Structure formats: C-alpha cells, structure tokens
Amino acid sequence: MLRVGLTGGIGSGKSTVARRLVARGALLVDSDVLAREVVAPGTDGLAEVAEAFGDGVLDAAGALDRPALAAVVFGDPAARERLNAIIHPRVRERSAELIAAAPADAVVVQDVPLLVENAMAPFFPLVVVVHADAEERVRRLVRRGLAEADARARIAAQASDEARRAAADAGLCNDGTERDLEAAVDALWERRLVPFEANLRQRRAASAGAPRLVGPDPEWPAAAARLRARVAAAVGERGRGVAHIGSTAVPGLPAKDVIDLQLGVDSLADADAVRDVLQDAGFPWHPGIDHDNPKPPGSPVWPKRLHGSADPCRVVNLHVREVGSPGWRYALLFRDWLRADAAARAEYLAIKRMAAERYAGDADADRYVEVKEPWFDAASERAERWAATSAWVPSLD
C-alpha cells in the first residue's frame, strides 16, 4: 500500500486532482469530509465543540452552524487550537480505520488541506502539492461566492506557496485548463504512483540504471531535506540523526541524480530493528549489502545496512551506520573535505567522469564504484590531514 499526502491552497484545484485520482483507481481519504463526519449531529465531537464554544455555534436543529463557528475561531489562534484539539484526533482515528481496511495494493490518497501547516509531510512516503497562481485562486473563490477580501484573507491565513513547494515531492500546476490538470494527474499516476506502490509492496528499490553524471541540481538540497525528515520520522527515538552525504551534498559538483543519506544508530541491532519501519516509509532494504569496501586498503570491514527508495522518480541510497564508527565518520569527512577543497573536487569529478564514460550503458553500480576506489584510497590521507589542520568535527549538516 502507498499512502500519498495531497494538499494545496484554497482554490488551487486540489479537489479536481482528488477526483481524477479516484477515477484512476485511488482510494480517497478526505480530511474535510471526515472533519464534518466527526461533528455530525449526535456525535461526541459535536457535543465537545458545543461545550467549548457555547450553544451559539449550533443551529436551530442542533447541528453545527459552520459560519457561526468560523466567526468565533477565524481571528483567534487560541480558539482555533481548541477546535483543532477536538477535531484532529478524531479525524486521525477515522483516517486510520479507513486505511486499515484498504486492500494491500491500494494507492491511498489522503486529502489534507493543512498538511504543511501541521508539519505532516514527513509521515507520508510521497507528498503531492497542487499549485495555482494566487490571483487565479482569488478569481475562483469569488466565482464560488466569496467576497474578494474574504478570499484574500483565507489565502493569506494558509501556508505560503514557498512552504508548500518545499514540502512537495511532486507538484501539479493548475494554471491552465481542467483537461491540462487531468493529463498531469494521469502522468503522475502512471509514471510514479503505480510503480511506487508496486515497489513498496514488493520491498523493491528503484534503480538509477547506468551511471550518468548530470549538472548540479539546485533541487537536491530540498529533496534531501524532505527525505531526511521522512527517515527521522520513521525511526523515531532509535535514530541518531540523518545527514545528506555523497556528491549531491557538495554544492556545484556534477553527480549522478542519486541522493545519499546517512542514518546514525547506536548499534547495528538498532539498524535491524528499524528495518521494517524504513521499508514501510518507502525505503526498501538491500539484503546482502552489509558493509562498505575497506578504506584504506587493509583496514577492517566497516559494517552498515543499506536501504534504497521505492520511488521510481527519486533514487536514494540510505546508509545506516553506527554513530562514531569509521564508516559513519568517513562519510561526513569526505563530504566536508570536498566542500572545502576545490582541487579535490576537481580531481574527484575527473575520476567520476572517467568511470561514467567507461561504464556508460552498464547498470552494474559496483563497476562504477571500483574505478573510483584507488582515488579514494589515496585521498583518504589528504582528507585526514585537512581534518587535523582545520579542527574538523563531524556534523550532520
């Protein structure tokens, strides 16, 4: 099962996207619908709302008077918090019930209007955000009957477009026609959601294919930040920090389009204990890859666990190592040395290009790595000298 978080600002077209996904076969769990359900007449949720805000938020028939409630909470953050404390736990409980009843191969789309505002993105294997120009959103809301000032106030009260983009693994632009949006949803469904679900269910990691270097991507740090948060949320207290490592963590360095992360744990027993939660979060385990190649030659084996990503559009290597171990330390040292030493970056890039050219068309990643190993072996002493002279200490960032 794949759980997808779907969000977007008011008037962005999120409901259109949700309908199209359902038409393609997704199971929709709509937080707005559930928020109404949990305060329907006769529910304990409605009783608690009335107790908190008074009978003035009820209509003549005893149902919730939504405009009256909105007038009470819209401009009062403390009142909104009281309301959320009543509604949100009930919505989460009902959502969990619906998800538990879904088929094993389902793509479950959770429509959550305040996903970004409530910092929920790390708890989904994938987050989809629907975007639309702010002025177009205002026009849509006015056509629905809202006063323009009210429409602008509601947009301003929600997360910014920048915050939503930072949370988005996939973005859908809805500045065009509904047909354009539906075509974009169809492409997302076929190229990403369906294969993601299959990979996740079969505990299968997506492959980067043959080694191919691309220019530095300004989106790599943001993608790594989302993935780091997702890993940290999955492992909870057993984790000891998640770092962005490897070439995509070095600004300005061409690299394979692969995000390398390092999760620190106290012991490999903890690494094995979090295996299943990482797999459920979208990071399948690579069985049989349980150590690094020795660095430098003759050094002991450096044990680890390796996970990948089930997302076909975002290849990831997640290295799980003991905090303070040689492998954990070296990954951070090598990254920071390359960041600081332009000559080392140039040398490393030349080696990477040679390896990529030699094995262009060969999907065996081990061959690509083997070409680089001699350079790594010689460079490790230089990195250690840099660490000693710069008073370097390991840092996740």
Over residues 31-74, the pLDDT tens digits come to: 889 999 999 999 999 999 999 989 888 988 889 999 889 888 87
Residue range 144-172: mean pLDDT, rounded: 93
Q: Is the pLDDT of residue 264 over 90?
A: yes
What tokens does 24 get? 């393609």
- The residue-averaged pLDDT of 153-169 equals 93
Identify which of 128, 144, 140, 136 has the alpha carbon closest to the alpha carbon of residue 175: 136
Torsion angle in degrees (nearest 10) through CA of 374, 375, 377, 381: 160
Q: If residue 306 lies in a helix (H) or strand (E), which one and from where to where?
A: strand 305-307
Least confident window among 82-96, 273-287, 314-328, 368-382: 368-382
- Residue percentage of the chain with pLDDT more than 70: 95
CB 58 within 8 A of CB 64: yes
Contact, 210 vs 363, CB < 8 A?
A: yes
- If one counts every other C-beta atom within 10 angstroms of the C-beta of residue 214, the result is 10
Over range 148-165, report the average pLDDT.
Answer: 92
pLDDT at residue 253 greater than cutoff 90: yes
Contact 241, 323 (CB under 8 A): yes
Q: Is residue 365 scored above 80 in pLDDT?
A: no
* Mean pLDDT, rounded, for 108-120: 93
- Whether pLDDT at 139 is above 80: yes
Per-residue confidence (pLDDT) for residue 359, from 0 to 100: 66
pLDDT recorded at residue 326: 92
pLDDT of residue 208: 76
Residue 89 belongs to what H/E stretch? helix 77-100
By DSSP bridging, strand 302-303 and strand 291-292 are: antiparallel
As a dihedral over the C-alpha atoms of residue 2, residue 113, residue 242, residue 342, rounded to 10 degrees, the angle is 110
Per-position b or e across 248-281, b if 16+ CB within 10 A of its CB: bbbeebbbbbbbbbbbbbeebebbeebbeebbeb
Are 306 and 271 a contacting pair, CB within 8 Å?
no
Q: The CATH number of 2-201 is which of 3.40.50.410, 3.40.50.300, 2.60.40.1180, 1.10.520.10? A: 3.40.50.300
Least confident interval from 228-232, 329-333, 347-351: 347-351
Kindly tell me if the per-residue pLDDT of 363 is higher than 70: no
Q: What is the pLDDT of residue 367?
A: 59
Task: Enumerate the domain spans of the chain.
Answer: 2-201, 220-390
Instruction: Give me the chain's average pLDDT, please.
Output: 92
Mean pLDDT value across residues 129-140:
94
* DSSP structure class, residue 144: T
Answer yes or no: is pLDDT of 125 > 60.
yes
Feature table: binding site: 11-16
Q: What is the pLDDT of residue 211?
A: 76
pLDDT digits (tens, 9 = 90+) for 272-302: 999 999 999 999 999 988 887 655 556 677 8
Q: 């990979």: which residue's tokens?
A: 199
pLDDT at 284: 98
Annotated binding site for ATP: 11-16
Q: Tell me what pLDDT residue 361 has.
A: 60
220-390: CATH topology is Beta Polymerase; domain 2 (3.30.460)
Q: Return the structure tokens found at 385.
A: 């000298």
